[in-house]
Amino acid sequence: MEIRDIYVDGDACPVKAEVVRVAERHKMTVHMVSNAYMRLPESPLVQRVVVSDGFDAADDWIAERAGEGDVVITADIPLASRCLERGADVIGPTGRPFDRQNIGNAMAMRDLKSFLRDTGEIRDHNPSFAKQDRSRFLQALEQVIQAIKRRR
């Protein structure tokens, strides 16, 4: 299997610079996809993709292109599921890998939390992004790329 590209759901991604660093080491193109222009690390391997601000436009762009040999970086669980179906490897920005074994539980938990927020049972807050998350992400991204190379 050929290692191909990295797709980043870029609007709220806290690890853009880390993705670029790893991509440069492995000579991989990075598609930073967002609904608006954003400052990005300078690299000839970074492709800026600005989509319309339509609902799920960035997700649709990524899901239509990502496939086997690609890596997708997203915290969006439905997008992760769509990309897994197409054969891509998917990692959350905290280093959490999504795979066929855990995506169903992740979707169920997402739906449950949404229901509990809607009914006022919980006030959800996302924990702040920590140094350990960044380190865990870098390790997970490197592991996924090495695994893709081994599958070749």
Domains of the chain: 5-151 (3.40.50)
pLDDT band at 34 (very low <50, low <70, confident <90, very high): very high
What pLDDT shows up at residue 115?
75
Q: Kindly report, residue by residue over 45-75, the tens digit of the pLDDT.
A: 999 999 988 888 999 999 999 999 999 999 9
- Residue 45: C-alpha distances to residues 27, 29, 48, 86, 97 (Å): 8, 5, 10, 23, 23
In whole angstroms, give the CA distance from residue 74 to residue 66. 12
Q: Cite the beta strand spans of 46-110 per DSSP E.
A: 46-50, 71-73, 89-91, 97-98
Per the CB < 8 A criterion, the answer to whether 27 and 4 are in contact is no
The arithmetic mean of pLDDT across residues 77-84, rounded, is 95
Give the contacts of 101 (CB within 8 A, at least 6 positions apart). none
Could you give the count of Cα atoms lying within 13 Å of 17 in the half-sphere of its Cβ? 4
pLDDT bin (cut points 50, 70, 90) of residue 110 is low
**Which residues are paired to 48 by β-bridges?**
32
